[in-house]
Structure 1
Amino acid sequence: MSKNVLRGYGKIAAAGTGVGALAGAAFAGQRRWLVESDVPRAIPVETDPLSEIPAETDVVVVGAGIAGISTALYLNQFGLRTVVFEKGFVGGEASSRNFGWVYTNALHQDKLPLAVLAKDIWMGFADRFGFDVGVRQDGNLHLAENEEELAVQAAWQREATQRFPGAIDARILGRDGLEDLIPGVGRQFIGALHQPSDGSAEPTHAVPLITKGARKEGVKVFAPVAVRGIETVGGAIHSVVTELGEVRTTRVVVAGGAWSRLFLGNLGVDLPQQGIASSLMRVKGGTAFRGSGFGGGAAWREQADGTCAIGVSMHGVPVTLDSFRVLPHFLPALKIALRNPSERFLSVQVGGDLLASLRTKRTWRNDEVTEFERVRMLTARPMVKAGDQGLAAVQELFPAMRDAEVVERWAGIIDATPDYTSVVSEVPAVPGLFVNTGHGAQGYSLGPGAGRLAAEMIAEQPTSVDADMFRFGRFTDGSTLQLREFI
């Protein structure tokens, strides 16, 4: 099951909403999986005084996660006055509730140009800002249980290293090489795909510290300030309306993660995106492997404080009204997933979320209090049983972890698209409106690259990577969507 743990993210993201919608028609209970919180995992960071919100700016970025802050960082670099509005806490949602991997290992080949760019940016933050943002280059490992899996890894490694010489240093380890790297594991697996230059960045610290650096360079960040909506004149953007007033601008970037669909919907823009609840846990009292990896039903990351984060391969699909609305977009991926019923990575959560979603306003006036003000930070309830199974898998893999104990459990929301591919694009129907969202389980790692790409589009700069696969219009122009998951 080694390859399935991370491949499961793709299948969950693509198919989970469809399964959820089908199951959700049957019944609805009361227990909610999507929950509100006012206790962030991210460390606090200073933002700009609310009294200094400008009357006008070149670009407004909605959302201060890794995608939004990175976009603002590069917009400012390209000479555009940039303001970021965050409804809650900087980095308070998915950006501080993810696994923390910074990697290219085993990613779909189509995603590698953006992933390579993003990793290079991650590794350069310390030099750029003059202080550490919590990034470590400690490797990523993809274990193989049989010859077939190892052959797939070897094919990926050959193509990736040929396309990106120097940037991708992945290597294939045989049983002996794996045993040398992690004593004891070589007896359980036939080999592995290992990339020493991959690493991690502490989710609790990275985005707040990047925000500190961005503000040092001139980016304005205001929180907590919810953007209620966008005002247009003649079809073009005229301003944004926040809970504290109006700010004139002609360009807006929606980098709201799981909130992006709701925000855009008020403008009549239909973004096919579904939230998937992903659970994680942190344990102490044992050592797994320096760095990150997955295999044998387990996924792990050594944290800076010596504890170990463990991923949960089972994910929750909270059924909401949107599960029905986006179902047509997800049907092709759902059909693919149903061909492999033994690979079950999702748990449909039918209950209070559906009832709550029926009460959520889908359209509103910009002078009304919005859902963004009512829910400053969205999280999810951890899946305890699945987490315990993940811990058991890690303990089976690493005997030194057998006495480890859980010290923290948490969950976050993955913003997934039907093809498990990011949306970094201008919205064709609304000139000046850009979207940077839908990055799935890879959003944290891809964030800096996606931010640079979005900024290049807005500033009319040559793009660092080909942006065609990320265009918004692929959902509406009849294009055949390609599901881009892990190898």
Structure 2
Amino acid sequence: MHGFPITLGIPADHTGPLPEAVDVTVIGGGIIGLMTAWELSRDGLRVLLCEKGKLAGEQSGRNWGWLRQQGRDLTELPIAMDAMCIWRELPQNLRAAIGFRQTGVTYLARDASRMAAFENWLAQARPHGVDTRLLSRRETEAMFPNAAGWIGALHTPSDGQAEPFVTVPLLARAAVEEGVVIRERCAVRGLELSAGQVSGVVTEAGTVRCARVVLAGGAWSSLFLGAHGVRLRQLSVLSSVSTTEALPEGFSRAAAADERFAIRGRADGGYNLTAWSSHKFFIGPDAVRNLGAFLPQFLADIRSTKLRPFAPQGYPDAWRTPRRWSSAEKSPFERCRILNPNPDMADIARLQHQFALAFPSIGKPAITASWAGMIDVTPDMLPVVDHAPIPGLIVATGMSGHGFGIAPGMAKVIADLVQGRAPQHEMSPFRYKRFFDGTPTKASSAI
């Protein structure tokens, strides 16, 4: 069965008149935008969040549901650890409603080289205070009985999970109670500038005055910035996810992955099943323009990347998607309210086969639903979180599939930038200009 749990026909929950003026407008109703808006409101600012379609309608609702510190790039790790503390500190009733559980994350190894990679990462991460540890073959077999082929693992017991497609809407209600104004089906067509700096946003429902804007537009961020003459090294890849029928009792409920597939136990007894690194990549104008920057990433992972020459009509990097438009006319964000790509069913069939090889006593699991999402990525797989070349605009995008888990910690960083405070974390790895000032693109320390 195909179908994303948040259907395109569900009406907006957050409607009503726009305020004439706010302190900050946040563009994008994914988890990064929502948590940022909530953080800014808690700091006493008047905040408007505009979402062109439905909250969590795109990748924030379609991801794996992992809340992960393990395996992070070392520059992201401190922020991810902050995020986990914030997830744990949510009210108990809210944690229960979003399915928050600290069941751990496990990376599984089939050979010694993979175990060596785990050991190397852990040696560098341990000074940060992670509770991660290496598991022996016996410990791994105890965690995953009747499995085949794994010689050991990397395990972080404090890592967790939540249900993505319910998390953002429920957190949004809490944010509204604390003063955030949210408007769904309200695309921001562009920025209003005065003397070269932000003075407001032009939405499809009218103009709102504000001196600061946070762009958390996910896969749409490059298109939005390009219309204002600002380049962003960002592309999007398609990742397919499926859910299985309930699996036997005694099977681990934790989130786990090897280099072939990833799984996460769900509250209903089924599992999310997805590829660890397989992605479908659509070629469009931005892809051609950014080929040089992304080529090392493609070559390093060429066997798991499928190239497609044409993105579906209306997608951010489709050949016919307009790159410029007037604020008085309908924008691309209104023509495609929600990116809803078809899942790669051949990939999902391959994952079923690989799962059966890993768990021969269970065999091939039946699939109950499948969907896909567009993951926005950068050449170094790290986000861009920084002031943009336009004064008053802060960019928070390119989360590269990490946004769901890291959002609460990243929101604190973004709120600091908005208010002119120095974030408590080193932010130079996430600066906007790194792709344009000659800085070499380093291989990620993530595993």
**TM-score > 0.5, shorter chain as reference:** yes
Do 1:118 and 1:449's aligned partners in 2 also have CA atoms closer than 8 Å?
yes
Where 1:57 maps in the other structure, the secondary structure is coil
Counterpart position of 2:75: 110
Where 2:242 maps in the other structure, the secondary structure is strand
Q: What is the TM-score of this pair, normalised by structure 1? A: 0.85
Counterpart position of 2:112: 147
Unmatched 5+ residue regions in structure 1? Answer: 1-36
Do 1:62 and 1:68's aligned partners in 2 also have CA atoms closer than 8 Å?
yes
Q: How many Å separate the matches in 2 of 1:147 and 1:462?
A: 42
Where 1:70 maps in the other structure, the secondary structure is helix
Where 2:75 maps in the other structure, the secondary structure is helix
Q: How far is the alpha carbon of 1:248 from its aligned partner?
A: 0.3
Residues 172 and 461 of structure 1, relative CA distance in 2, 3 Å threshold: same
Q: What amino acid does structure 2 have at the position aligned with 1:116?
A: M
Do 1:42 and 1:208's aligned partners in 2 also have CA atoms closer than 8 Å?
no
Cα shift readout 1:138-157 (whole Å, capped 9, x = no counterpart) = 11111111222212212322
Q: Are 2:271 and 1:308 aligned?
A: yes
Do 1:382 and 1:411's aligned partners in 2 also have CA atoms closer than 8 Å?
yes
Q: What amino acid does structure 1 have at the position aligned with 2:133?
A: R
Which of residues 349, 357, 365 in structure 2 aligns to 1:396? 357
Counterpart position of 1:349: 308
How many residue pairs end up in the alignment?
440
Q: How many Å separate the matches in 1 of 2:64 and 2:10?
A: 19
Residues 152 and 38 of structure 1, relative CA distance in 2, 3 Å threshold: closer
Do 2:244 and 2:369's aligned partners in 1 also have CA atoms closer than 8 Å?
yes
Q: How many Å separate the matches in 2 of 1:84 and 1:379?
A: 22
Unmatched 5+ residue regions in structure 2? Answer: none
Q: How many Å separate the matches in 2 of 1:72 and 1:327?
A: 34
* Structure with a larger share of its residues in helix: 1
Q: Are 2:386 and 1:425 aligned?
A: yes
Q: How far is the alpha carbon of 1:486 from its aligned partner?
A: 2.8
- More moved, 269-278 vs 315-324: 315-324
Cα shift readout 1:179-227 (whole Å, capped 9, x = no counterpart) = 2222223x52211111111111101111111111111111111111111
Q: What is the TM-score of this pair, normalised by structure 2? A: 0.93
Residues 444 and 158 of structure 1, relative CA distance in 2, 3 Å threshold: same
Kindly report which structure 2 residues correspond to 1:408-423, keeping only aligned pairs within 5 A, or say none: 408-423=369-384
Kindly report which structure 2 residues correspond to 1:230-379, keeping only aligned pairs within 5 A, or say none: 230-287=191-248, 288-295=251-258, 297-312=260-275, 313-334=277-298, 336-337=299-300, 344-351=303-310, 353=312, 357-379=318-340
Which of residues 126, 141, 154 in structure 2 aligns to 1:193? 154
Q: How many Å separate the matches in 1 of 2:405 and 2:105?
A: 13
Q: How many Å separate the matches in 1 of 2:215 and 2:267?
A: 32
Do 1:241 and 1:247's aligned partners in 2 also have CA atoms closer than 8 Å?
yes
Percent identity among equivalent residues?
35
Residues 38 and 385 of structure 1, relative CA distance in 2, 3 Å threshold: closer
Where 1:379 maps in the other structure, the secondary structure is coil
Question: Greater RCO between the two (CA within 8 Å, min separation 6)?
Answer: 1
Q: How many Å separate the matches in 1 of 2:243 and 2:414?
A: 33
